[in-house]
Amino acid sequence: MIPYGRQHISQADIDAVTDVLQSDFLTQGPAVPAFEQRLCEITTAQHAVAVNSATSALHIACLALGVGPGSRVWTSPISFVASANCARYCGADVDFVDVEPDSGNMAVDKLRQKLELARNNDTLPQIVIPVHLAGASCDMQQIHYLANEFGFKIIEDASHAVGASYLDEPVGNCRYSDITVFSFHPVKIITTAEGGMAMTNSAELADKLRLLRSHGISRDENLMTEPTHGAWYYQQLQLGFNYRMTDMQAALGLSQSQRLLPIIQKRQLLAASYNRLLADLPLGLPQLDDVNISAWHLYLVRFDDKSKRKAVFDALRAAGIGVNVHYIPIHTQPYYQQLGFDWGDFPVAEDFYERIVSLPMFPELTAEQQNYVVQELSKVLQ
Ligand SMILES: *Cc1c(COP(=O)(O)O)cnc(C)c1O
């Protein structure tokens, strides 16, 4: 089976992890700050906090921004469930903003309409979490503009988008947001097996994220409520978690990050080939615009005729092609239906869902494999 996504592991990656295994520190050693520093260099953000998953990063990003019971957090229905669950972990109420029909990214006009309604009802959100679907940034300039007008904070879920750029600057620089989150799950752009990172330009938010990552414990005497008892002394200042990344993971991530640029270039080449090879089929293809350089985590096609989607999906799977669907709208999940959402709430997202299939997209996909995917797809569409 040709998978839809797959990690790329080099000998240098293996050596980097082996080195850590033979060193003094398997966790909380030098690799984690080195990997954090590297992500600051890549994105130009001032602070990076590595954690054990993007889900954890989203959770503590919400907490660091003061999300709690009674808070309102809005995100996109076309995402992985973690984009919404992070707010539920904090006891907040989640709502969704419908998407653009082509990109599947949060629609700015829908966001504005919903904010205006919410202002009238005194139900404005504290946080909005735009999701950069497939690796291309949302319209962050406009969303940031709305944040100033309506007074909400922004967490970018850039799980798909490490290495992408928007308006000629790296995604993750937090120019238009308070915190940006990356995922290093194996199907994503670079991997640490499990892992995530929160980027921010606020020293205060970075300190909060670090406390929350490790039990709420600090050894900083300036933060203590009484004089230190000695060199062993620490204080738990609040309720935190064990969300730490290991040094094995960070060493793998650091090694992978040395190849970030060629990985993105390879994904761009594959996307350009798909766009060329699929141009004559009855499909909506992802746009390559000049505002975004996508990281091309996913290559999503949209069927003109959505009644064909299931049969084509099944035929491609039967031909050994691991197509997938990203994503089932979050608000239609039983857990969210129990909270009062239902089919029909976000019609553009639901229509998008019914049309999409993700084709194989990963650096080691060969031209031969790609031609095979296109050939099988053409066959079943005709
Ligand atoms: C993968 C993903 C996550 C969760 O990432 P983990 O590192 O697996 O926790 C969150 N949001 C989006 C959009 C994702 O694709």
Write the single-letter amino acid at 234. Answer: Y
pLDDT digits (tens, 9 = 90+) for 296-325: 999 999 999 999 999 999 999 999 999 999
d(CA 173, CA 200): 7
User: CA 64, CA 203: separation in Å to the nearest integer?
Assistant: 12
pLDDT digits (tens, 9 = 90+) for 95-117: 999 999 999 999 999 999 999 99
Please check the confidence at residue 287 and state whether its pLDDT lies above 90: no
Whole-number average pLDDT of the chain: 97
Angle formed at CA 107 by CA 102 and CA 108, multiple of 5 degrees: 140
| 282 CA from centroid of ligand 1 (Å) | 30
Q: Best mutation site among 103, 185, 197, 243 for ligand 1, i.e. most ligand atoms within 8 A of its Cβ?
A: 185
At residue 289, does pLDDT exceed 80? no
Burial of 44 (0-12, 13-18, 19+ CB in 10 A): middle
User: Distance from the CA of 294 to the center of ligand 1, in angstroms?
Assistant: 17
What confidence category does residue 261 fall into, taking pLDDT thresholds of 50, 70 and 90? very high
| Closest C-alpha to 212, from 94, 75, 52 | 52
Pocket around ligand 1 at a 6 A CB cut-off: 53-55, 79-80, 82-83, 131, 157, 159-160, 183, 185, 196
CA 4 to chain CA centroid, Å, is: 17
- Predicted confidence band at 140 (pLDDT cuts at 50, 70, 90)? very high
- Residue 229 alpha carbon to ligand 1 centre in Å: 41
Three-point CA angle 142, 145, 146, nearest 5°:
90
Centroid of ligand 1 to alpha carbon of 137 (angstroms)? 15
Q: How far apart, in Å, are the Cα atoms of 133 and each of 45, 59, 296, 379?
A: 21, 19, 9, 28
Tell me the per-residue pLDDT of 50-71, one tens digit each, with 9 for 90 and over.
999 999 999 999 999 999 999 9
Q: Which ranges in the chain belong to alpha helices (H)?
A: 11-21, 31-43, 54-64, 82-89, 108-121, 140-150, 203-213, 247-257, 260-277, 309-318, 334-338, 347-355, 367-381
Q: How confident is the model at residue 382 (pLDDT cuts 50, 70, 90)?
A: confident
Q: Does residue 84 contact residue 227 with C-beta atoms inside 8 Å?
A: no
How far is the centre of ligand 1, averaged over its atoms, from the C-alpha of 157 (Å)?
8
Query: What is the pLDDT at residue 284?
Result: 97
172-182 residue pLDDT tens: 999 999 999 99
Average pLDDT of the segment spanning 118-140: 98
Contact between residue 295 and residue 189 where contact means Cβ atoms under 8 Å apart = yes
Token pair of 248 as six digits: 């094995």
pLDDT exceeds 90 at position 169: yes
Domains, the chain, with CATH or none: 2-257 (3.40.640.10), 260-381 (3.90.1150.10)
What CA–CA distance (Å, rounded) separates 334 from 307?
24
What does the block give as tokens for 220?
């900083």
Cα 116 → chain centroid: 27
